[in-house]
Chain A
Amino acid sequence: MMSTYIRVEFARHFRDGYNLIFALLLPAAMYILFGNIPSYTESALGAGNVKFYLMISMAAYGAAVSTVAIAGTVATETMQGWGRQIALTRMPPAMFVGSKMIVAATVAGASAALVFALGAATGAEVQEGWIWGASYLIILLGALVFACYGIGVGMMFKSESALGLASGLMVFFAFFGNVFMPLEGGMLDAARFTPMYGYVALARYPLLKDMPAGVDMAPDALWIPTANLVAWALIFVLFAVLATRKAKARQ
């Protein structure tokens, strides 16, 4: 049941160039841009170099944005009557959501993998090999938190343009979440409460973990990004559930 659906979903994403550009090419292009032009990117940072740090940032951003875009289609397609069409078959609605999550995770995984491959090819370095895997895994799992955000926005506004806006807002979250460029002072204090801060800080933790506190770019205590990610996960889940309930009641 699910395998055919997932296959067709991938075919649709490959035909839709627009989605593909935002999910795959944009984060990769951003890594090339930020990771290679400035002269400081070769310098050491934590257990690796600045390139590795930027690679994690862009991969995390790309994975989260892809997840939002694909998870959001659960909502817009349900509202377009596709949900009713599925409700007339044996397949339970949970399997529809499950198929979308598998597709979202795969595209997010491919997006992050592309940035990691570019990083490996252009001199992103880290002393301990396991950090590659650990960072990648945290990026992938953390991205799924943003699926709930995508579903919630889609259910709330029912339109594809709202979904585009939700993806666009991710740029904003990324900027104020300390993803694109290191924030300082008051901005950094405020950033600790924004949705992408915990996610990207956890993904960078394996790289930065051994830096002494007080040094520039040193990581927060582990509980701060963890608390941030868990809190936002709960908020997004609640948002998705409430928005879905409201949308169903209006049907």
Chain B
Amino acid sequence: METLIKADAVSLRGLKKTFSTPRNEVEAVKGIDLKIQAGQIVAFLGPNGAGKTTTVDMILGLTQPTGGSVEILGLDPRQAITAGRVSAVLQTGGLLRDMTVKETVSVIAHMHEKADRIGPVMERTGLDKIAKRRVGKCSGGEQQRIKFALALLPDPDVLILDEPTAGMDVMARRDFWATMRAEATDGRTIIFATHYLEEAQNFAERTILMSQGRIVADGATEELRKLISGRTVSASFPSPEHADRAAAFGDSVQVAERNGLRLSFHSADSDRFAAALLSEYQGYDLEISSPSLEDAFIQLTKDAS
């Protein structure tokens, strides 16, 4: 009988990492508790130095935590890797320049004992067209695709990507995420670290914000966007008097920015305010925008520090 309680894809408890140098100690990760259910697509979002890569390395068992524990599908990282249930696209290096694309995929496939996956994976990642090229002659985007192919070889349940689109141009990034979407089926859990807000917005159902070694926010990506309530409403006015009258609309409205006859307001009830702007204060060129994840991020990291 199948057990009803499934193990979490990833479970972190009190995870800590301190790097010691002769001069001082650096706390890269300051205690992370986290559960990720199977099948979720999760973004680790944060600026450089937030501890994303260190956290990813600890999840994969590449770095030993100073404290706390890691479980992947109920296994320790090494067991999960040996069983081929987790794999990753690492951020830096990881390829040998004088190997060909085919050789690279082939040796790693044999290390997984999954030689039968070489053909299908190369085809799906579009590497079959550059199979004989040396890795050193491939563009940054192509090298990233090779690393992605290597990660797909064991057909993992949990796929971890550390800054997968770093160094790619816009087109390559778009292609990459298109391929990625195709792989995000069959209940595969995908966790990716990024500092591109739009990648989290477009791709992740859940976003975990990290800053200075801590989780500062964790929730559905949509919820996170709503964390900063209200909208920004901008309008131009025929005269300063009109603008002043609009600014005195009520408690729900504050002036955010004044630029001649163009004003931006924060409004908790943007619909009602916008209607009033048009009908009563002769406002024109109206713009209403919701705060971006970036705004939310600045707000949250400010709160945390």
Contacts and interface: CB of A to CB of B under 8 A. Distances in A.
B269 interface: no
Interface in B7-49: none
A89 B81 contact: yes
Interface stretch (B104-112, B198-206, B222-230, B254-262): B104-112
A81 B96 CA distance: 9
A16 interface: yes
Interface stretch (B67-75, B84-92, B185-193, B274-282): B84-92
Given A4-B106, A8-B99, A12-B98, A89 B62 contact: no
20 contacts: A1-B111, A5-B110, A8-B106, A12-B103, A16-B98, A80-B93, A80-B96, A81-B90, A82-B93, A82-B95, A82-B96, A84-B62, A85-B108, A87-B61, A88-B62, A88-B87, A89-B81, A89-B108, A90-B113, A91-B111
Interface residues of B, number: 29
Interface of A: 1, 3-5, 8, 11-12, 15-16, 77, 80-82, 84-91, 251
Interface SS of chain B? loop
Interface SS of chain A? helix
Contacts of B113: 1, 90
Interface in B242-290: none
B73 to A, nearest CB: 15
Nearest to B156: A88
Contacts of A81: 90, 92-95
B107 A90 contact: no
Interface string B147-175: 00011001000000000000000000000
Given A1-B113, A90-B112, A8 B93 contact: no
B121 interface: no
B107 A4 contact: yes
A251 B58 CA distance: 13
A55 B151 CA distance: 49
Given A77-B96, A80-B96, A90-B112, A85 B90 contact: yes
Given A5-B110, A8-B107, A15 B98 contact: yes
A209 to B, nearest CB: 44
B215 interface: no
Q: Which of A82, A84, A85 has the most CB of B within 10 A?
A: A85
